[in-house]
Amino acid sequence: MQRKIIETADGSKTIHIEDWDEHYHSINGAHQEAMHVFIKKVRERIAERKEISILEMGFGTGLNTFLTLQMATELNVNVNYFGLEAFPVNKEELEALNYNSLWSEGSNFFEKIHDSGWSQKVEIHSNFSLTKIETKFEDWEAIPNTFDFIYFDAFGPRVQPELWTIPIFEKVFESANVGAFFLTYCAKGQVRRDLGSVGFKMERLSGPPGKREMLMGSKSGCQH
């Protein structure tokens, strides 16, 4: 499958899968999208908490992981991060993406994130532990009541509809703590309805540059 590194509108880079005409991150700004959809939403909702757990469905380039690590060090919050990825990005692509440039103090951490072994918990920083699992979403077994935030960053429903299904969402819901938040760039009505059907209370929020809306869900203590 043909893959190409391209520059997005904010100067940060992403990978374009030419056969699908699909991108790992928004062409309107890879960095801006990650910050808007995931990092800023977590910042706004962790209040005085000193420890959180995050599940990322679609570890991909590691951009969301890297920016979450930056947030953890700035806020002095301990983050236990768990990322799922079926097809890891190769070393040459990671070097070409040059995400180190997005954080002046983080030049060593992006490499540590990707050099860490799979299927093991690794301390990347005193505030940040990472567990990467190489698996398809369909094959992953839910970890009940574990995560405070879920980053759902799979390729879009147009190219991989099998990743946006009720059985997948049920596993995510089961793995979420009471009070957890589900975050995704996708705002499709069917996705919102399906997430609501498994128990998340859904709302539409303003989207990142180039996108009108995104979705956020929450898991309350009383479920239907």
CATH number for the domain that contains residue 200: 3.40.50.150
| Domain count of the fold of the chain | 1
Residues of the chain with pLDDT under 50: 223-224
Per-residue pLDDT tens digits for 21-56: 999 999 999 999 999 999 999 999 998 899 999 999
Q: Answer yes or no: is 224 within a domain.
A: no
Of the chain, the percentage scoring pLDDT greater than 70 comes to 98
The span from the CA of 62 to the CA of 15, in Å, is 12
Give the per-residue pLDDT at 222.
Answer: 52
Give the per-residue pLDDT at 224.
Answer: 42
Q: Answer yes or no: is 73 within a domain.
A: yes
Give the per-residue pLDDT at 215.
Answer: 98
Q: Answer yes or no: is 193 within a domain.
A: yes
Q: Answer yes or no: is 142 within a domain.
A: yes
**Which residues have CB under 8 Å from 81's CB, separation 6+?**
53, 54, 56, 65, 68, 69, 128, 129, 130, 131
Rounded to the nearest 5°, which phi and psi values hold at 189? -60, -40
Q: Answer yes or no: is 56 within a domain.
A: yes
Give the per-residue pLDDT at 1.
Answer: 76
Give the per-residue pLDDT at 104.
Answer: 86
The span from the CA of 186 to the CA of 201, in Å, is 16
Q: Answer yes or no: is 223 within a domain.
A: no
Q: What Cα–Cα distance (Å) separates residue 197 from each residue in 44, 131, 151, 218?
A: 26, 29, 19, 13
Q: Answer yes or no: is 201 within a domain.
A: yes
- Domain around 106: 29-218
Give the per-residue pLDDT at 47.
Answer: 81
